[in-house]
Structure 1
Amino acid sequence: MNRNIFIVLLIVFNIAVDQITKVIVRANIEIREVIELIGDKFILTNVYNKGAFLGMGSDMNPTLRTIFLLILPTIVLAYVIYYIIKTKELDRLSLIAFCCIIGGGVANVFDRIVFGKVTDFFFIDLGGIFKTGIFNVADISVTAGMIMLLLSGIFNKKKEERQETA
């Protein structure tokens, strides 16, 4: 498959899955309603987040919020798209990681443009072992992308070390 088509399809897939889940949540779950999927360990709810990750920046004045949560992310996302299209030597895992990060980022920026806030709906609480804030599929995409980038860096460094010693 053509590399650029792969990039576009993966980004669009991430955006589509996120937006479809948000449409379903907004249509079927009332604001602050709690639906227990696995007891109180995995919950669906419907909250709006005017800020960024875990609501950070939601209390900023509207001008700063527009700059830091809409304009700057859009510029960064545009640059990352440019970077992955121009950098042909990226390994497959890094390319997928960047596409997930872009897709998740674009999906949340889209929410901020259209709704003025982001729809979040997943919550996990594993009783002291692991507890999240309320998040959405775009957040999962961005987080998975960051983890893949980290792993790619580790794998590539080990690969380079092995080549140097050979």
Structure 2
Amino acid sequence: MMNRALFAAAVVVLIACDQAAKQLALADGSAVINSGVALSFLSGSNLLSLLVAACGLILVGWIYRDTVRNRTLHRPEYAAYALLVAGGTANLIDRFIHGGVVDFIRIWIIPTFNLADAMISTGIVLLLVLAHYYGTAQRADNQR
């Protein structure tokens, strides 16, 4: 069982790391503002970007609320949800402050992204792996 304060603290620390990295990237000029959504989709469409931000805010709030209320999750699941909430919140902060997300990580063939994007992707992959792991463990327990 995860302590609510520990979960919230993890989310705050992850957001702070993301925002600090983005400020450094903005200061040295290596950052770009992505006003679109994933892979710059809908870039330049303010109304649609605002709608996506509103949906993101609702989704992040819902995940946070359900996660802190859930007493049956395993610690790795809490970590995955903390990554999702922190990444989503960090990108929402960017949208409200900069009008888009601050992207600065460039890897050869992959579109430019940021730490919050990496948190979201890692959280999703971790949840998928854990769903398989805990599902397999539960099936094994049921067969005994």
Using structure 1 for the length normalisation, give the TM-score: 0.82
- 2:39 corresponds to: 54
- 1:159 corresponds to: 137
Q: CA deviation at 1:92?
A: 1.1
Any stretches of 5+ residues in structure 2 without a counterpart?
none
Q: CA deviation at 1:110?
A: 0.3
- Secondary structure of 1:58's aligned partner: coil
- 1:15 corresponds to: 15
- 1:63 corresponds to: 47
Instruction: Pick the structure with greater CA Rg.
Output: 1
- 2:80 corresponds to: 97
1:111 aligns with 2:94: yes
Q: CA deviation at 1:59?
A: 3.5
- Secondary structure of 1:27's aligned partner: helix
The question of whether the paired residues in 1 share the 8 Å contact of 2:83 and 2:123 is answered with: yes
Q: CA deviation at 1:164?
A: 1.1
- 1:85 corresponds to: 68
Q: CA RMSD in A?
A: 1.4
Superposition map of 1:143-154 within 5 A: 143-154=121-132
The question of whether the paired residues in 1 share the 8 Å contact of 2:36 and 2:42 is answered with: yes
Runs of 4+ in 1 over 4 A off after TM superposition: none
Any stretches of 5+ residues in structure 1 without a counterpart?
30-44, 126-130
Q: CA deviation at 1:64?
A: 2.2
Once the two structures are aligned, what percentage of the paired residues are identical? Answer: 25
Q: CA deviation at 1:2?
A: 6.4
Matched residue type, 2:48: L
Q: Which has the higher helix share?
A: 2
Q: CA deviation at 1:144?
A: 0.7
1:141 aligns with 2:126: no
For residues 7-48 of structure 1, give each alpha carbon's deviation from its aligned partner in whole angstroms, at most 9, with x where no partner exists: 11111111011000000011112xxxxxxxxxxxxxxx4211
Superposition map of 1:14-53 within 5 A: 14-29=14-29, 45-53=30-38
Structure 1 distance, partners of 2:20, 2:13, is 10
For residues 44-81 of structure 1, give each alpha carbon's deviation from its aligned partner in whole angstroms, at most 9, with x where no partner exists: x4211001111112143x2222112x111001111111
1:121 aligns with 2:96: no
